[in-house]
Structure 1
Amino acid sequence: MTLSVVRRAILPVVSRSVSGSRPSCAAKSRSLTRYRLRTSHTAKSSLGEGPTPDLRPNETPEESERRRQAESARVEERTQYVESREEFDAFLTEAGDKLVFVSIESQEECDLGDYPDPADVQRTVSDDKMAPCRQIKSTLARVARECADAVFLTIELSEDNPDLEELAKELGVTRFPTFQYYKDGELVWEHIGAGQATKQSIGEGLLFYGDQAAGGTHASEYITQIASKGDLEDFLEMCAAPQDTPIGVENEVPCEKQLAVLDVSLMKDSPACLHIYPAVLALAKNTAGACRWARLCGDVSPDAKKLMDELKVDRVPAFIFFNEDKEVGRYIGADRLQLMNTVIDIQKAEGIRLKDRKPRKRLGTAEAKRIAKEARARNKAAQWTI
């Protein structure tokens, strides 16, 4: 397709990967957890000999135990247990370019990470030191269900298998649990601990590395993946169709007025890029039809690195704004509010005005007084109801 034809093409959604393939559910954030519930835990909770953690409202200990067992079974279906260094290497090789999530665990240790939540600390002192690891299990079960194209491995250390202790040392793991993400056999992210921050890291990592957003949607439905100069040229020639935003407003901006925003990031060892990506997706959704969004990860290939150098980006994350194929602004940093304000400022400077949310229809004064009076009377009567 020539560029002139691309210019006339209307995108049904803001974007798909220019290269045509959607990123795999690769390296989710360094968080995921997989804690293997032992028979001893099950018996203890069922018989009432100890506290039963994670009870939901109106849930009995027996129902809680059955639920956790069901979650465990779902994870078991998606998880391979590693018993030797050779098996670990074999699983990594067999995975190819899929994401490999590795949970390195200990039966005796449940580290909360470097900045633990006080409630977690208190719980491990007064309740059960392994409780935080079990709490992560439901998150892991959801991840395992939603990300079928990833490989989940568990390395569970025990005195019976010294080979796994050596493997943990080779992987640089000294605290448990540690969660590692591998892509193409290379470690791209790591998270240590099972504290409160772990759940957030799971979501951020799923999104950044695996394209997996909430509700089974994918970030690539809104953010185009750029891997070369040709991809960028095609992206800049595109035109987004009118879109209904999550706040109920239709964005309809002429092609020549639409902003194109390029997020320049790095996949490896770049926490700032990872942490701001949820805000990028939110902005892409809310400005759909007025802005087109794309992401260039400068360390995924030589072509990507070359394009990053040509764009003169030496710090990430960097956001480059284009209008009519010309750069009209930049923001370098990971402040979510500042990124949003930069988008708004550049839209105003380029003469782009988005529609406001439709105001709600208000009651007349007399009608409002009548309804409010009836509500007060009802609430007063309810106070005396036994």
Structure 2
Amino acid sequence: MASTAQLLGHLASSTATASLSFTPVSGGGSSSKVRFLPATAQRRRMVARPRAAVSGAEKEKAKPAESGGKEDERVVQVHSAEEFDSALQKAKNRLVVVEFAASHSVNSKRIYPCMVDLSRTCGDVDFLLVMGDESEATRELCQREGITQVPHFSFYKGTEKVHEEEGIGPDQLAGDVLYYGDNHAGVVQLHSRTDVEALMAEHSGEGGKLLVLDVGLKHCGPCVKVYPTVVKLSRSMADTAVFARMNGDENDACMQFLKDMEVVEVPTFLFIRDAKIVGRYVGSGKGELIGEILRYQGVRVTY
């Protein structure tokens, strides 16, 4: 396990919470506004406003890398609503991350390599690319999915859209993929009070570990922001602590658990030892979270 100084110095401190509501939090940053016009309308605009000839190299620079090469073989480009729906159905309960892009969007090109990198490391996630201005079929697909700006990322599970973001950067995209599709990290996923009680019983008594329970909501920006830190800590502190997560809006049982625990803001971290809640931290401050965990492990922390 890393030393206290290393852990506290590794992540900068920032604090934010979200009220216990279900309003989606949109991403920040800039995005390119795009209207996916019918092909006939685009031709009329080109005749009305002729442009200088563009070389093939310049055209290639203006769009994300083509799918299908060795470097991005796990990012599948779809060309119609039928292919899109088929990919979602085939994925079943796996997370599917879709980038809606456009050939002339600089931001689409900028974020695409990040998605390629994520596709290589996240084997439990499917990645799709839709070029909105590729054809009439992709324009209709974007219209059906309500896409008005690119790059736009939509996250699906079981064919249901669980999250979407516009104008985000690589770090937030990576955090979103972890938060909504994390089946490979050392964070135990809890879905009811029964799950919580079973985990507490497992780690109670002599030799029991501190249980750190991350309570949040599916569409909570601060919850998504702090989750990569939770994943890192679950690995670095595996010998002394157990990390678990519950989303209150997953089902009625989870929401009732939040009410019983008097959770009114998220993210809230409950610290449990020997089946008893010994403390809590409310917020997404990375340094503060690490300090609180160390404190409940009996480590003296000075700021």
Length-normalised TM-score, structure 2? 0.70
Q: 2:197 aligns with which of 223, 233, 240?
A: 233
Deviation at 1:76, TM superposition (A): 5.5
Alpha carbons 1:30, 1:181 under 8 Å: kept: no
Which residue of 57, 60, 69 corresponds with 1:44? 57
CA 1:288–1:148: 2 relative to 1, 3 Å: closer
Residues 224/169 of structure 1: CA separation in 2 closer, same or farther (3 Å cut): same
Structure that is richer in strand per residue: 2
Q: Does 1:202 align with 2:173?
A: yes
For 1:102, the equivalent position in structure 2 comes to 98
Q: Check whether the contact 1:74–1:145 (CA below 8 A) recurs between aligned residues.
A: no
* Structure 2 match to 1:211: 182
Other-structure match for 2:287? 337
Alignment-derived partner of residue 259 in structure 1 = 210
Aligned residues of 2:216 and 2:248 also touching (Cα < 8 A): yes
2-structure distance, mates of 1:144, 1:159: 23
For 1:75 and 1:100, locate their aligned partners in 2 and report how far apart those are by CA, in whole Å.
19
Q: 1:180 aligns with which of 154, 157, 164?
A: 154
- For 2:281, give the aligned amino acid: Y
Which whole-Å CA distance do the structure 2 matches of 1:165 and 1:230 have between them?
46
Separation in 2, partners of 1:52, 1:106:
12
Deviations 1:42-71 (A, max 9, x none): 9527xxxx9989xxxxxxxxxxxxxx77x8
Q: Which amino acid aligns with 1:44?
A: A
CA distance in 2, matches of 1:72, 1:89: 19
Q: 2:80 aligns with which of 66, 79, 84?
A: 84
Counterparts of 2:27 and 2:91 in 1: how far apart (Å)? Answer: 18
Runs of 4+ in 1 over 4 A off after TM superposition: 40-43, 50-53
Identity %: 29
Which position in structure 1 is the counterpart of 2:123?
A: 148
Rounded to whole Å, the distance in 2 between the matches of 1:307 and 1:150 is 29
The RMSD of aligned alpha carbons is: 3.5
Name the count of aligned residue pairs: 250
CA distance in 2, matches of 1:288, 1:148: 23
Cα deviation, residue 171, structure 1: 2.0
In the alignment, which of 292, 296, 301 is matched to residue 246 of structure 2? Answer: 296
SS for the counterpart of 1:169 is helix
In the alignment, structure 2 segments of 5+ residues that lack a partner are 1-25, 29-52
Asked if structure 1 preserves the Cα contact closer than 8 Å seen for 2:95 and 2:156, the reply is yes
Alignment of 1:272-291 (within 5 A): 272-291=222-241
AA in 1 matched with 2:207: C
Deviation at 1:72, TM superposition (A): 5.7
Mark the runs of 5 or more structure 1 residues left unpaired by the alignment: 1-28, 32-39, 54-67, 111-129, 213-217, 241-252, 355-386
Letter in 2 for 1:106: A
Residue 273 (structure 1) shift: 0.6
CA contact (8 A) 1:74 1:141 kept: no
